[in-house]
A and B are shown apart, each in its own frame.
Chain A
Amino acid sequence: GAVVSQHPSRVICKSGTSVKIECRSLDFQATTMFWYRQFPKKSLMLMATSNEGSKATYEQGVEKDKFLINHASLTLSTLTVTSAHPEDSSFYICSASDAQGVNTEAFFGQGTRLTVV
């Protein structure tokens, strides 16, 4: 299957700072990337959908000014958590899709564990 690389895998930052998480499709062009958030012992909740070259579409309840998403190329999307607070601590995971035809699937990165202290 296709490979999606997410970096960093783990990050600790201080309250008030910003942190950037990268999601790269290594061997295919990802026209669409998705960002999910997983609270401890909870399911994955879709945060936003990003399409290359356009603004991300955020799910209801997700603060677009806090979670900045950029999808500047067909292989890279970034999620920046701005002015991070302890409640932003979570596991963030991306998926990438080329969605060129029917019966496609998205490919997931390995996730990023964010801890805000």
Chain B
Amino acid sequence: AQSVTQPDIHITVSEGASLELRCNYSYGATPYLFWYVQSPGQGLQLLLKYFSGDTLVQGIKGFEAEFKRSQSSFNLRKPSVHWSDAAEYFCAVDLWGNKLIFGTGTLLAVQP
């Protein structure tokens, strides 16, 4: 069955440090992949998406993600974290026709 795994439930980084959030998926075909961010009590904001082509995708707010087919991964990275990046991050796979399954989320805390 299709699934999305985010191994890290909670991550704390210092402001200015680099960040990598992990995402692994299980899906039979070439997936469409997404990263979303959610602030407390808010909806979802799309950070970036991968459909095909270049496996390194750039998103908003300085985020990027790399699709690695051999590892079934789509990890999210940012070279220097800002305090405003503290939020919950969700990786998602498009099953078909924009029907998404989400990972369990990673809660990011940023220390001053």
| Physical interaction between A and B | yes
Identify the stretch in B64-72, B74-82, B92-100 within 8 Å (CB) of chain A at 4 or more residues.
Answer: B92-100
Whole-angstrom CA separation of A77 from B94 in the bound complex: 21
B residues contacting the other copy or chain, number (CB 8 A) = 22
Q: Is the interface of B mostly helix, strand, loop or mixed?
A: strand
Q: Are A32 and B97 neighbours in the complex by a CB distance under 8 Å? A: yes
Whole-angstrom CA separation of A45 from B49 in the bound complex: 20
A residues contacting the other copy or chain, number (CB 8 A) = 25
How many pairs of A and B residues are in contact by the CB < 8 Å rule?
A: 54
Q: Taking the complex as formed, is A85 at the interface, i.e. its CB lies under 8 A from any CB of chain B?
A: no
B-side contacts of A106, CB under 8 Å:
98, 100
Q: Are A34 and B102 neighbours in the complex by a CB distance under 8 Å? A: no
Q: B residues within 8 Å of A by Cβ? A: 32, 34, 36, 41-44, 46, 49, 51-52, 90, 94, 97-105
